Amino acid sequence: MPEPMNRRMGATTVKHGGKTFRRLFSEVFCGKGLSLTVVFACIIVSALVTVFVSSMIETLIDDYVTPLITGGLDSFAPLLAAMTRWAAIMACGVLSVYVYSRIMVTIAQDALMNIRDKMFEKLQRLPVSYYDQTQHGATMSLFTNDVDTLQQMIGQSLVGIVSSLLTVIMVLVTMIRNSWQLTLVVIAATLILMYVTKSVAKKSGRNFAAQQANLARVNGFIEEMINGSKVVKVFCHEEESEKDFDAINEQLCETMTRAGSYSNVMGPITMNIGNLQYVVLVFIGSAICIMAGDFASGYTVGMLAAFLQLSRSFANPISQIAQQANFILMALAGAERIFDFLDRENEVDNGYVTLVNCTEDESGNVTESEERTGKWAWKHPHTDGSPVTYTPVRGSIEMHDVDFGYVQDKIVLHDITLYAKPGQKIAFVGSTGAGKTTITNLLNRFYDIQDGKIRFDGININKIKKDDLRHSLGMILQDTHLFSGTIMENIRFGKLDATDDEVIAAAKLANAHDFIMMMSDGYNTMIENDGEGLSQGQRQLLSIARAAVADPPVLVMDEATSSIDTHTETLVQSGMDRLMEGRTVFVIAHRLSTVRNSNCIMVLDHGRIIERGTHDELLAAKGVYYRLYTGAFELE
Query: Is the pLDDT assigned to residue 38 strictly greater than 90?
Result: yes
Rounded average pLDDT over 509-533: 86
- In the sheet with 584-588, reading across from the earlier edge strand, the strands are 473-477, 554-558, 584-588, 425-430, 600-605, 608-613
Query: 232-259 b/e with 16+ CB inside 10 Å = b?
Result: eeeeeeeeebeeeeeeebebbeebbebb
Residues 6+ apart with CB under 8 A from 574: 511
Instruction: Return the half-sphere exposure (C-beta side, CA atoms, 13 A cut-off) of residue 448.
Output: 13
Dihedral of the alpha carbons of 282, 287, 288, 290, in degrees to the nearest 10:
120
Contact 604, 430 (CB under 8 A): yes
Type of residue at 169 = I
Q: What is the pLDDT of residues 612-623, one digit of tens each?
A: 999 999 999 988
Q: Report H helices in 228-300.
A: 229-234, 238-290
Dihedral of the alpha carbons of 495, 498, 501, 505, in degrees to the nearest 10:
-20
Residues 6+ apart with CB under 8 A from 320: 160, 161, 164
Rounded average pLDDT over 330-353: 89
Q: How far, in Å, CA of 255 to CA of 554, rounded?
A: 52
Q: Tell me the backbone φ, ψ of residue 464, rounded to 5 degrees.
A: -90, 135
Q: How far, in Å, CA of 376 to CA of 356, rounded?
A: 6
For helices 158-178 and 33-59, angle between their N-to-C axes, nearest 10 degrees: 30
Task: Share the mean pLDDT of the chain.
Answer: 82
Please give the pLDDT value at position 464. 93
Strands 376-380 and 354-360: antiparallel
- Residue 317 has a CB neighbour count (10 Å cut-off) of 24
Rounded average pLDDT over 7-19: 53
Type of residue at 90 = M
Q: How far, in Å, CA of 457 to CA of 553, rounded?
A: 11
Rounded average pLDDT over 492-515: 88
**Where does residue 260 rank: exposed (0-12), middle (13-18), buried (19+ CB within 10 A)?**
middle
**Where does residue 519 rank: exposed (0-12), middle (13-18), buried (19+ CB within 10 A)?**
middle
* Widest CA span in the chain: 125
Query: 454-487 b/e with 16+ CB inside 10 Å = b?
Result: bbbbebebbbbbbebbbbbbbbbbbebebeeebb
Task: Report CA torsion sign: 7, 10, 11, 17.
Answer: positive
pLDDT level of residue 65 (50, 70, 90 thresholds): confident
Q: Report H helices in 346-405.
A: none
Q: What is the CA radius of gyration of the chain?
A: 36
Classify 34 in phi/psi space as left (phi over 0), alpha (psi -120 to 50) or beta.
alpha
Distance of CA 278 to the CA centre of its chain: 48
Residues 6+ apart with CB under 8 A from 558: 436, 437, 440, 475, 476, 477, 478, 588
CA 19 to each of CA 23, 130, 136: distance values in angstroms, whole numbers, following the listed order: 6, 25, 28
Please give the pLDDT value at position 636. 44
Q: How far, in Å, CA of 373 to CA of 366, rounded?
A: 12
The total number of residues written for the chain in this structure: 636
Please give the pLDDT value at position 354. 92
Residue closest to 280 by CA, chosen among 186, 351, 343? 186
Q: How far, in Å, CA of 345 to CA of 609, rounded?
A: 34
Query: Is the pLDDT assigned to residue 562 strictly greater than 60?
Result: no
Contact 610, 624 (CB under 8 A): yes
Query: Is the pLDDT assigned to residue 551 strictly greater than 60?
Result: yes
Q: How far, in Å, CA of 493 to CA of 68, rounded?
A: 83
Query: Is the pLDDT assigned to residue 302 strictly greater than 80?
Result: no
Contact 142, 150 (CB under 8 A): no
Type of residue at 284 = I
Residues 6+ apart with CB under 8 A from 499: none
Q: What is the pLDDT of residues 81-90, one digit of tens each?
A: 888 888 898 8
Contact 560, 579 (CB under 8 A): no
Query: Is the pLDDT assigned to residue 450 strictly greater than 80?
Result: yes
Query: Is the pLDDT assigned to residue 3 strictly greater than 50?
Result: no
Rounded average pLDDT over 220-240: 71
Please give the pLDDT value at position 460. 93
Contact 377, 363 (CB under 8 A): no
Helices and strands (H and E) in the chain: how many = 22, 16
Does this model's pTM top 0.85? My answer is: no
Query: Is the pLDDT assigned to residue 224 strictly greater than 50?
Result: yes
Query: Is the pLDDT assigned to residue 6 strictly greater than 60?
Result: no
Please give the pLDDT value at position 12. 39
Please give the pLDDT value at position 9. 41
Type of residue at 173 = V
Residues 6+ apart with CB under 8 A from 155: 104, 105, 107, 108, 109
Using DSSP, state whether 483 is helix, strand or coil. coil
- Residue 443 has a CB neighbour count (10 Å cut-off) of 20
Rounded average pLDDT over 2-7: 39
Residue closest to 457 by CA, chosen among 469, 442, 448, 475? 469
296 versus 48: the higher-pLDDT residue is 48
For helices 238-290 and 180-227, angle between their N-to-C axes, nearest 10 degrees: 170
Rounded average pLDDT over 188-199: 77
Q: How far, in Å, CA of 468 to CA of 246, rounded?
A: 47
Please give the pLDDT value at position 550. 86
Q: What is the pLDDT of residues 110-166, one digit of tens each?
A: 888 889 999 999 988 888 888 887 877 788 888 888 888 888 888 888 888 888 888
Percentage of residues in the chain with pLDDT exceeding 90? Answer: 17
pLDDT level of residue 10 (50, 70, 90 thresholds): very low
CA triple 21-27-32, angle to 5 deg: 115
